[in-house]
Structure 1
Amino acid sequence: MSQNESNGAIETLTVGEGTGRRDIAMMLLPPRDGNTLPHLLWLGGYRSDMTGTKAVELARLAEERGTACIRLDYSGHGASGGAFVDGTISRWLEEALAVVDHARTRLGSRRLVIVGSSMGGWLALRLAQELRQRGREGDVAGMVLIAPAPDFTSELIEPNLTEDERASLAARGFFEEPTPYGPDPNIYTLKLIEDGRRNRVLDGVIDAGCPIHVLQGMKDPDVPYTHAIRLMEHLSCDDAVLTLIRDGDHRLSRPEDIEKLREAVSHILEPS
């Protein structure tokens, strides 16, 4: 199978009802016949999409190992419909759950190794919690979290708001912040911040019920490595590993970072 084929065709799934309906773009790479490994699920970060370096590399790894790979763009991201400013953790979690359920039908029921980057790490933890509440705790075989940002709205944004940003939230319902990752500023809405408080995971024990490997750069300007250490303190599983990359940034997309990602995912796919 070629790399182009491993990227797959973009499909859409309609999520929500009424004015909340939006078309969610996804790529589903099917498993090789007879393959029994868990499927891989990619959950990207804030304003990222499923065609980024790490997402494509994950699909390539799935192709090499003969298992399935599930990728999606949240609403307001990439090829998906919906307005970005309508996005919240609850809304994007709903979309991830819908894609997971759709993939179970399309690709066959199989356990998942969830790979979450930045905000996707938060969504991975919430997804595992939601599946557990539905009696499907066995669905998650493991997680690899890359520079995870659980509770970033209440832990990393709210405490550092300037007076101008607070005024903008009160008057306009959002504020803008320059970003080094593109020409357009990040937009943080009051809706996102308020919903983030309802999706907190760092206020108690996180019982994910699976092995977790966290990859964190120590030169990350967006999510300090102390945040990853705090996450480790909340995880209840014994098989939780934190790898600190001394010169790593937030994206962790260098060849040496990708190799660490591949190793972490492979270890959970097929424990030695």
Structure 2
Amino acid sequence: MTVTLTTCNPEFLTVGIGEAERRIAFVVRRTKDDEPGATLVWLSGYRSDMSGTKAVELDGLADRLGLGCIRFDYSGHGQSGGNFVDGTISRWLEEALAVISHIAPKSVVLVGSSMGGWIALRLAQELRRRGISPVVQGMVLIAPAPDFTIDLIEPSLSDAERASLAERGYFEEASEYSPEPNIFTRRLLEDGRANQVLTGIVETGSPVHILQGMQDADVPYAHALKLVEHLPADDVVLTLIRDGDHRLSRPQDIERMLAAVAALAVP
């Protein structure tokens, strides 16, 4: 079933203090009374927001199943405040934690796309480390890109890009999805090393279903195989989609995502 995209009318949550203060836009669908199941949490990719096709389709699934759903925009994205160039994995993780804490669901299924897969893994780690709710009931990772700054960007930097990082603190790269270039800052790359997850066993404490296109030009499917190697303690399913690209937004891809989420969210 396809959900028609609509304009979000978000609420706002202030995160950070002083110069780090920013207003984070979020949209929440509350769980229907007496309806079992987890709240779905959408975690967008780099330069994506909560109004994208997959995010809205996820909200539609929550509506049909009577589940809660949380969508939000990272700072510098969509309807949230803050400057994009100030963004780091730590900063966006802080915002995810703040929004979830504010809404306070009892259990969640984390659904992360591309960079959102990295945020999802770090979010699960932080919730377990702090011993706070909610319980992570499951994770669906779509073309996940954990450690992408270390594994995918840094090794392929050109001399010109390295010079730009040293001189300007960032470099630009043409985007396939936008007329505006992608901007990668030295701060983002340095912070990425502080948030590495593919250095040992990643304990999520929940089942994980990974959806990965084999024609993905941004995150090669070998990266998903590497992630699986670091999830030996969990119930992990990897679905390789032979003709799938990075976005995995075709109707058949959306159906795979929704089926995987429903299987984890509903007892």
1:89 paired with 2:89, answer yes
Match of 2:44 in 1: 44
Normalised TM-score (structure 1): 0.95
Alignment partner for residue 162 of structure 1, among 158, 171, 189?
158
1:175 paired with 2:171, answer yes
Match of 2:53 in 1: 53
Identity of matched residues, %: 62
Match of 1:237 in 2: 233
Residue identity in the other structure for 1:30: R
Contact 2:38–2:266 at 8 Å: present in 1 too?
no
Q: Provide the secondary structure at the position in 1 that maps to 2:85.
A: helix
Q: Provide the secondary structure at the position in 2 that maps to 1:31.
A: coil
1:193 paired with 2:192, answer no
Residue identity in the other structure for 1:74: Y
Q: Provide the secondary structure at the position in 2 that maps to 1:50.
A: coil
Structure 1 unaligned residues grouped into runs of 5+: none
Alignment partner for residue 206 of structure 2, among 189, 210, 228?
210
CA RMSD of aligned residues (A): 1.5
Alignment partner for residue 257 of structure 1, among 232, 253, 256?
253
Q: How many residues align?
A: 265
Map residues 82-121 of structure 1 onto 2, 5 A cutoff.
82-104=82-104, 109-121=105-117
Normalised TM-score (structure 2): 0.96
Q: Provide the secondary structure at the position in 2 that maps to 1:128.
A: helix
Map residues 6-155 of structure 1 onto 2, 5 A cutoff.
9-104=9-104, 109-136=105-132, 139-155=135-151
Residue identity in the other structure for 2:95: E
Contact 1:7–1:29 at 8 Å: present in 2 too?
no
Please list every run of at least 4 consecutive aligned residues from structure 1 whose deviation after the TM superposition is greater than 3 angstroms: 3-8
Output the CA distance in 2 between the equivalents of 1:188 and 1:5. 29
1:32 CA drift (Å):
1.1
Change in CA separation of 1:164 and 1:6 when aligned onto 2, cut-off 3 Å: closer
Output the CA distance in 1 between the equivalents of 2:245 and 2:133. 32
Q: Provide the secondary structure at the position in 1 that maps to 2:31.
A: coil
Q: Which 10-residue stretch deviates more, 243-252 or 131-140?
A: 131-140
Output the CA distance in 2 between the equivalents of 1:9 and 1:188. 30
Contact 1:216–1:245 at 8 Å: present in 2 too?
yes
